[in-house]
Amino acid sequence: MISEPEPGDRQRIAFGLEYDGSRFRGFQRQRQRPTVQEVLEDALSIVADETVTVHCAGRTDTGVHAACQVIHIETSARRSERAWVLGVNSNLPGAVAVRWARFVDERFHARFSARGRYYRYRILNRWIRPGLEAGRVAWERRPLDAERMHEAAQRLVGEHDFSSFRALGCQARHARRHLHSIEVRRHGDEVVLDVAANAFLYHMVRNIAGTLIAVGCGEREPAWVGDVLAARDRTRAGVTAPPEGLCFMGVDYPEHPELPSRSADLAAFPRGRDLS
């Protein structure tokens, strides 16, 4: 465990947080407001009594939620881990909450130390639109065959060029990603996609979800997903599924096992054989 900093020393601190993405214009600070980064930096700066910059494990889009996003900051402020959590939460809007804080060494970086990231996509599959879960699930009125969707999804497992599932505005240097596992299952009226990869492209999970929905409702055969992947052409895939069904579930930091960086719900995720 990393101890509290000495007076005058700058200390790196990691935080885990959850947020309702329907209240924000995405994670990253930008001209359109509010963003998660904006409200976090404002709250953290108040507690630190100095300006701080937030670095995150994975930027989420407008409307996308997080169960355990991970960030880090550097500061010379001296506070206990508990004081950081209580102080920051008292200055955050209700749609964001810090779950934990940990002192980490300078080797840790919320983005570059991550070796695995997890997303969940929830689809309410009934003919009546959502009420209680509005803004938290996607809605598909056509009946979906989750088993067909799962079969189709297995064609995406492994290291591939995911250009067919990459949005036009993606700024990643290349489209190769290692998708460790993907599982599609039904729970009553919900169809749930759990996806684990070393990293994701812009809109990658939502484009995969839209493609699998086309299979699930019978528009396409499962083998089509493999053809889409091989084409490396975004126009060959399905539509981009809406953001409200997507939630960033957590991160793997093998070199920092002291971090509680994974949502408890991740126990349900199938694990890939290699998280490097």
Q: What pLDDT digit, counting tens, does each position of 147-188 carry?
A: 999 999 999 999 999 999 998 777 778 889 999 999 999 999
Q: Which of 98, 95, 90 is nearest to 69 (CA)?
A: 98
Asked if residue 269 has pLDDT above 70, the reply is no
- Give the residue range(s) of CATH 3.30.70.580 domains in the chain: 11-104
Q: Which band of pLDDT confidence, cut at 50, 70 and 90, is reported for residue 29? A: confident
- Give the residue range(s) of CATH 3.30.70.660 domains in the chain: 116-256
For 75, the token pair is 């500061």
Q: Are 96 and 66 in contact (CB under 8 A)?
A: no
Angle (nearest 5°) at CA 198 between 196 and 201 = 90
pLDDT given for residue 275 in this prediction: 42
Asked if residue 121 has pLDDT above 70, the reply is yes
CATH architecture of 116-256: 2-Layer Sandwich (3.30)
pLDDT given for residue 272 in this prediction: 42
Asked if residue 50 has pLDDT above 70, the reply is yes
Residue 226 belongs to what H/E stretch? helix 223-231
From the list 42, 61, 145, 265, the catalytic residue is: 61
Percentage of the chain exceeding pLDDT 70: 91
Q: Residue 164: helix, strand or coil by DSSP? A: helix
Lowest mean pLDDT among 20-29, 128-137, 167-176: 167-176
Q: How far apart are the first and last CA of the chain?
A: 24
CATH 3.40.640.10 fits 11-104, yes or no: no
Q: What mean pLDDT, rounded, does the chain reach? A: 90
pLDDT given for residue 63 in this prediction: 92
**Average confidence (pLDDT) over 97-123:** 95
Q: State yes or no: is 61 an active-site residue.
A: yes
